[in-house]
Amino acid sequence: MKRKNNVTLWSSLLLFLAGLFILSLPSALSAVKDPGIVCVVDIDDMIINPIVQEIVAGAIETAQEKDSQCLIVRMDTPGGLMECTHKIVKDIMNSPIPVVVYVWPQGARAASAGVFITISGHFASMADSTHIGAAHPVVMNKSWGSIDEEMQNKVLNDAEAWIESLAKNRDRNVQWARKAVTESVSITEKEAQRLNVIDFVAKDLDELLEHLDNKEVEINNTAVTLHTKNAPLYFIEQSARQKFLNNLINPNIAYIFMLLGFFGLIYEVTHPGFGFPGIAGIICLLLAFYAFQVLPTNYAGLALIILGLAFFVIEAFTPTFGAFTLAGVVSLVFGSTILFNQPYEFLRVSLRLIIPTAVGLGLIFTFLVTQVIRAHRRKTTVGAEALVGQVGLAKSNISEEGKVFIHGELWDAESKDKIKKGEKVEIEKVEGLKLIVKKHIERSE
């Protein structure tokens, strides 16, 4: 009986141990399973705008849905709009997964708004031969393009406090971050690492994943350890809509769409009917105004451009021998130059586009004016007016009134000269069905 009880005891113990093994099996398997994916999204040579903000927000959501270890934002930007930068930084700071901002590829930059985004990342990295800095904000008067100094000081103080807060939160160099805003300083990737502006320098994604491996970061008050070495990558692509709208929110593209829109409407107004030019013009203008709503548009510049185009139209209908054409060229050049009057080149219309456009339109309307002048100088070759200056033959004595034969037709004529039958006469004027003539005098060559 005692032996039987021992067998039962040992059997129960074995079953208990087997149960513990089975319960521990999932955790053991999880310890040896493949590392989770790492999502990657590119902001490659893009101005920070609402589309970029949408791309980053969507990438964070996608990475979360795919249970990614982290999201790598590969970035190359000259800067952009402060409002959109605020939204991107807020999305990164509140991301449920770690966000790694990687200034890439070689030769890339994280300028202006890019500094705020880089510092806000849970981890920040830069590729070789890249640079970061020049985050001084600039506020322009939308009406005249002048710098509003009072508002400038307010925005500068706000930006300085903001970047200081970000740097402290990510345990990065606060002093340098403030200088990037107040003094527009810029540094290379090696200086950035030495000054604790970024976490590490990585030549490519593989090296970046090695740097991130076993790094710990706090997400929502929970410590998360990354296991990124040899982790599979998932690249998040931009949609066709995002690519189109991002290209549209470009000062040069928006400028071209605006001109095409105005010319389409001008053509439609000056020609009967309503067809393709008018419809295409309306579409182009709507797309241009969408871009203007996003870009820091100077309305005085827009007004000058519209005035310049109006001068061209006036010249075409009431030729002033080039006066309105010249005024149109001047208005177009000045208006285009200050349309997006910003200190940053990437937020202005390029002179390489403005000059050929203005010169081209000037040449076109100069050609049209030249043709009009020639038409005015050219003698009429048809109708009664074509007879002026022609030489005919008196078919009767003309003493105040008589008959004249010219171009196979017999006309009533009137003259102050006394002209004998058979003499040549020269037509001075045509009044209804009567010719005003004078005696024709032969001129020696």
pLDDT digit string, tens, across residues 239-272: 999 999 999 999 999 999 999 998 888 778 767 6
Please check whether residues 81 and 125 belong to one and the same domain. Answer: yes
Q: How many domains does the chain have?
A: 3
188 and 68, same structural domain? yes
Residue 38, H or E segment: strand 38-44
The verdict on residue 4 lying in a domain is no
Residue 24 has what pLDDT?
A: 44
Contact 77, 56 (CB under 8 A): no
Per the annotation, the verdict on 112 as an active-site residue is: yes
Mean pLDDT over residues 74-97, rounded?
95
- Cα–Cα distance, 324 to 168 (Å, whole number): 59
Q: Let me know whether 368 and 392 are in one domain.
A: no
Q: What pLDDT is stored for residue 8 in this prediction?
A: 56
Q: Say if strands 200-201 and 123-126 run parallel, antiparallel, or are unpaired.
A: parallel
**Rounded (5°) CA angle 201-205-207:** 55
Last residue of a domain, one of 323, 356, 377: 377
Band (6; pLDDT cuts 50, 70, 90):
low
Rounded distance between C-alpha atoms, residue 310 and residue 304, angstroms: 10
User: Are residues 372 and 390 both part of a single domain?
Assistant: no
The per-residue pLDDT for 99 is 98
| Predicted confidence band of residue 22 (pLDDT cuts 50, 70, 90) | very low
Task: Tell me which of 90, 154, 168, 229 is the catalytic residue.
Answer: 154
DSSP class of residue 147? B
Residues 6+ apart with CB under 8 A from 336: 255, 301, 305, 349, 354, 357, 358
Where do we find the tokens 């706090």?
218
Structure tokens at 60: 């964070």
Residue 87: closest CA among 122, 49, 119, 45: 49
Specify the CATH number for the domain of residue 417: 2.40.50.140
- The answer as to whether 226 is a domain residue is yes
Residue 5 belongs to a domain:
no
In a domain, 307, yes or no: yes
For residues 304, 309, 314, 315, the Cα torsion angle rounded to the nearest 10 degrees is 110
Contacts of 187 (CB under 8 A, 6+ apart): 131, 132, 133, 176, 195, 197
Predicted local confidence at residue 57, as pLDDT = 97
Q: What average pLDDT does range 52-72 have in this prediction?
A: 96
Residue 273, in any domain of the structure? no
> CATH number of the domain that 184 lies in?
3.90.226.10
Q: What is the model's pTM?
A: 0.74
Residues 220 and 337 in one domain: no
Residue 441: what pLDDT?
78
Residues 79 and 210 reside in one and the same domain = yes
What pLDDT was estimated at residue 388? 80
Give the pLDDT band of residue 320 (cuts 50, 70, 90).
low
Distance CA 346, CA 250 (A): 8
Strands 99-103 and 123-126: parallel
Q: Band of the pLDDT at 181, cuts 50, 70, 90?
A: very high
Question: Same structural domain for residues 179 and 308?
Answer: no
Asked if residue 329 lies in contact with residue 308, where contact means CB atoms within 8 angstroms, the answer is yes
Q: In this structure, are 207 and 110 located in the same domain?
A: yes
Check: CB of residue 390 under 8 Å from CB of residue 347: no
Query: Of 323, 352, 377, which residue constitutes the final position of a domain?
Result: 377
Q: What is the pLDDT of residue 272?
A: 64
Last residue of a domain, which of 327, 343, 377?
Answer: 377
Burial of 235 (0-12, 13-18, 19+ CB in 10 A): exposed
The reply to whether 331 and 409 lie within a common domain is: no
Are 75 and 222 in a shared domain? yes
**Residue ranges making up the domain that contains 371:** 250-257+292-377
Q: Is residue 25 part of a domain?
A: no
Q: Is residue 285 part of a domain?
A: no
Take residue 412 and report the two structure tokens written for it.
Answer: 């009533």
Beta bridge partners of 426: 391, 438
Same domain, 152 and 181: yes
Please give the Cα distance from 381 to 91 (Å, whole number): 76
If residue 127 lies in a helix (H) or strand (E), which one and from where to where? none
The reply to whether 311 and 187 lie within a common domain is no
| pLDDT band (50, 70, 90) for residue 127 | very high
Average pLDDT score, the chain: 85
Residue 266 lies in a domain: no
Per-residue exposure over 287-298, b if at least 16 CB sit within 10 Å of its own CB, e if not = bbeebbebbbbb
Mean pLDDT, range 49-71, rounded to an integer: 96
Q: Return the pLDDT at 105.
A: 95
